[in-house]
Structure 1
Amino acid sequence: MNNFEFQCGTKMIFGKGTEQRVGEELKSFGASRVLFVYGGSSIKKSGLYDRVVKSLTDAGLYFEELAGVVPNPRVSLVRRGISICREKGIDFLLAVGGGSVIDTCKAMSFGVYYKEDVWDLISGKVRPGTQRLPVATILTLPAAGSEESDSCVISDETISVKTGFGSPLMRPVFSIMNPELTYTLPPYQTACGCMDMMSHAMERYFSHTENVEMTDRVTEGILATVIHNLPIALEKPDDYAARAEIMLCGTWAQNDMTGCGREQDWFNHGLEHQISGFYDIAHGAGLAISTPAWMEMLCEKEQCVPKLAQYAVRVWNVPENPEDAAETAKEGVKKLRSLLRAAGLPQSLGEVGIGTERFEEIADNMTDGGSHTCGAFYPFGKKDILELLNRME
C-alpha cells in the first residue's frame, strides 16, 4: 500500500424529505445571497423546484436562478453563471441536479475569483487558487459522484473538447441526498448512472499496487451492490431501498475513499471524454461501450489477468478456474456485458451512430501524437488505442 492523504469534508444529509432543509443548512454555513442552478423542467414537474424555493424563502435568503445545464455541461453556461455571481454579489452556489449541474457550479466557484477566462482553469493551463465560492448540492441523479468529489468535467462544444480540473477545495460543503428524488428518472438515465459509478470504482480497483485488500473488498462491495440493485430499480422505479443503495454507491465510488494508497488507472474515462467531446453521447453509455472491450483486450495481457480474474470471482461469483485464469477473467466480462445489455445500454459505437472517422484523432489526442501512453493498469499507446477503438466498433 502506498502512502496517502485523504480528507472529505462534505456533510452528507441523506434520506426522505431532506431537501426541505436546504434553506436552513445554507444559512448555517453563512449563506446570504445564493445562485440556484439547475437543468431543465424536470425539477419543476416533480415539485422539487417549489420545495427548494420555499425552503430558501423561509430561511430569508436572497437567491437568483440559472437554468439550462445540459449533459456534458458547457463552459458557455459556466461563464454566464460567473457573470451573475459577480453582478449580484453571490456568496453561495446551490446545485440541484446531477453531476452536470454540480460540475457547472464547481467550475463557476473558482472562476468567479479568476480574472481571465475560466477555460484556463478547466483546461489545466492555470492551476486553481484558494479562493472559491462554496457549493452545496441536492442530488437528483446518482452517477458522477460529484456531490462529494474534488473534481469537475466541462465541455467546450466550439472546439469539441471535454476536460476538467480539481482541487481539495472543490468538494461541496454539504450534499442533500434523498433517494425519492430519483424515482422519476428514465430507465436509460438510471442505467447510465450505474455504469458511471461502476466505472469510478473500477478505475481505482484495476491496479497493480499490492497489499490493498481493504479497498479492494470495499470496491467489490460497491460493484456487487450496484449489480444487485440496478435490475430492481429498473423494474420498480419507486423501490426506496434499491434507490438508496444505488445513491450511496455513487457517492462512495467517487469520493476517493477506495483510491487510498493505490495507483489508479482512469484510461476509460479519458477515452470516453474524447468520444463524448466529439459526439455528445451520454457519459455512462460511452463507458458501457468502452469498459467491456477494454477488459476483453486486457484478458490477453498476462500482467492484467490476475486482477481481472479476481474481479470475476469476487464480484460476479464466477467459479475460479485454477488451470486458466484468463478464462475466469473472460467469464467476468461476459457477466458485465449481460447486465449492461439487459439494462438497455449500448455495446458498440455503431449502436450510437459513431463511425471510424475520428479514431485517429482520438488516439492522437490521448497520446499527444503517439509520444506517451495512457493508463496505469496497462499502458495504452496510440496503436493500442486504435486497436481498442476498432474492437468497440
Structure 2
Amino acid sequence: MENFTFSHPTRIHFGRGEENHVGDRIRRRGGTRVLIHYGGTSAVKSGLIYRVTRSLERAGLATFPLGGVLPNPRSGHVRNGIELCRKENIDFILAVGGGSVIDSAKAIALGAAYTGDFWDFFDGKAIPTTVLPVASVLTIAAAGSEVSPVTVITREDGMLKRHYSSERIRPVFAVMNPELTITVPPYQTASGATDMMAHVIERYFTNTTGVELTDRLCEAVMLTIRTEVPRVLKDPGNYDARANLMWAGAIAHNDICGVGREQDWASHALEHELSGLYDCAHGAGLAVILPAWMEYVMQHDIARFAQFAVRVWGCDMNFAHPETTARAGIDAFRAFLRQIGMPTSFADIRAREEDIPTLIDKLHLGHNTLGAFVKLDRNDCENIYRLACRQTTAP
C-alpha cells in the first residue's frame, strides 16, 4: 500500500425532505446572495426549485436562478454563470441537479473569483487562490460530483471535454434525498449506475499490492450496484434501492476506494472524446469503452481480472486456466450492461469507425500515454476504439 492523505470535508445531509433545510445551512456558512444553478424544466415542474428557493428566502437569502445546464456541460453556459455572479455579487452557489449541473457550478465558482478566463485552469495556466463555495441538492445517483474535487466541462470551440481537479471546488455540503431520484428515467438511471461502476473500476485495476481492504471496499460498491440497479429498474419507487444506489455513487467517487493505491483513469479519458464528439451520455460511453479496455489490457494481470470475475460476478475459478475465469468476468460485466439497457458498441451510440483518427487527435495524452495500470500510447488507444467498434451491439 502507498502512503496517502485522505480528507472528506463535504458534509452529507441524507434522507427524506433534507432539501427543505438548505437555506439555514447556507446562511450558517456565510452565504447571503445565492446562485441557484439547475438543468432543464424537470426540477421546476417537480416543485423542487420552488421548495429550495422558499427555503433560501425563509433564511433571508437573496436568490438568483440560472437554469439550462446541458448534459456534458458547456463552457459558454459557465461563462454566463460567471458573468451573473460578478454582476450580482453572488457569494454562494447551490447546484440543484446531477453531475452536469454540479460540474457547471464548480466551474462557475472557479471563474467568478478569477480575473481571467476560467478555461485557464483547465489548460494548466492558472491555479485557484479563492473560489465561491458550492453546495448541491442531488437529483440523480451517478457522477459523484457532489463529493468530489473534480469538474468536467466541454469547450464548444473544438468540442474538447476536459477535467479539472482542486480541493477548493469540493462541495461544502451535499443534500442527498433518494426520493428526488424516483422519477429519473430508466436509461439515465442505468447510465448513472454505469458511471459509478466505472469510478470504482478505475481504482480497482491497479498495480499496487497489499490493498486488500480497499479491494474489498471496491467490490462491495460494485456488488451493491449490480444488485440494486435491476431492483430500481423493476420498481422505480423502491426507496431503499434508490438510497443504496445514491450512497454507492458518493462512495464510488469520494476516493475512499482509491486511497493508498495507483489509479488508472484511461477509460474515462477515452470516453470523454466520445461524449465530446457525439454528445452521448457519459455512462453510455463508458459502457462502450470499459469492456474493450478490459479485453485489451487483461493479459497484464490475469489474476486481478480473475479476482474481479469471482468476487464481483460470481464466476467459478478455473485454477488450471485462470484466463478463462478472467474472460468470463468481462463477459459477465458486458452482459450486465446489456441487461440494464446500456450500449456496448460504437454502433449503439451512433459512433463511427472512420472518426477514430479524430478521436485520437483530440485525446489529451500526458507524457504521451494514458492510464497507469497499463500505459497506453496512441496506437493502444486506437486499438481499444477499434475493439469497441467490433463489440456485438446490444439486443
Instruction: Give the TM-score normalised by structure 1.
Output: 0.97
**Is the Cα–Cα contact under 8 Å of residues 366 and 374 in structure 1 kept in the other structure?**
no
Q: Pick one of 339, 350, 353 that aligns with 2:350.
A: 353
Q: Among residues 368, 383, 392, which one is paired with 2:379 in the alignment? A: 383
Q: Which residue of 2 aligns with 1:291?
A: 290
Task: Give the counterpart letter for 1:331 in structure 2.
Answer: A
- Pairs within 5 Å for 1:186-335: 186-299=185-298, 301=299, 303-335=300-332
Give the aligned residue type for 1:62. A
Deviation at 1:182, TM superposition (A): 0.2
- Identity, in percent, stands at 47
Question: 2:114 corresponds to which residue?
Answer: 114
1:247-290 CA-partner distances (Å, limit 9, x unpaired)? 00000100111111110000000000111111111000000001
Gaps of 5+ in 2: 390-395
Name the CA distance, whole Å, in 2 between partners of 1:244 and 1:212.
28
Q: Matched residues in 2 for 1:70 and 1:209: separation?
A: 37
Q: Which runs of 5 or more structure 1 residues have no equivalent in the other structure?
A: none
1:14 aligns with 2:14: yes
Where in structure 2 are the equivalents of 1:88-99 lying within 5 Å?
A: 88-99=88-99
1:80 alignment counterpart: 80
Q: 1:358 to 1:208 in 2, by over 3 A?
A: same
Equivalent positions of 1:8-87 (< 5 A) are 8-87=8-87
Aligned counterparts, 1:109-188, within 5 A: 109-126=109-126, 128-188=127-187
Q: Deviations over 1:220-244 (max 9, x none)?
A: 0000000000000001101001000
* RMSD (CA atoms): 1.3
Q: String of CA shifts for 1:22-66, please: whole Å, max 9, x gaps.
A: 111111111111000000110122221121111111111101010
Contact kept, 8 Å, 1:367 with 1:382, in 2: the verdict is no
Is the 1:367–1:381 Cα contact (8 Å) retained in structure 2?
Answer: no
Cα distance in 1 for residues equivalent to 2:294 and 2:203: 14
The CA distance in 1 between the partners of 2:14 and 2:275, in whole Å, is 31
- Asked if the contact 2:11–2:172 (Cα under 8 Å) also holds between the matched residues in 1, the reply is yes
Whether the aligned pair in 2 keeps the contact of 1:157 and 1:277 (CA below 8 Å) is no
Q: 1:371: how far off?
A: 7.0
- Specify the code of the residue in structure 1 equivalent to 2:315: V
Q: Deviations over 1:105-135 (max 9, x none)?
A: 1111111121111111123332x22201000
Aligned partners of 2:285 and 2:349 also within 8 Å: no
Please tell me the residue identity of whatever aligns with 2:254. N
Give the TM-score taking structure 2 as reference length: 0.96
Once residues 171 and 367 of structure 2 are traced to their aligned partners in structure 1, the CA distance between those partners, rounded to angstroms, is 37
Q: Structure 1 residues 371 and 92 mapped into 2: Cα distance closer, same or farther (>3 Å)?
A: closer
- Paired residues in the alignment total 389
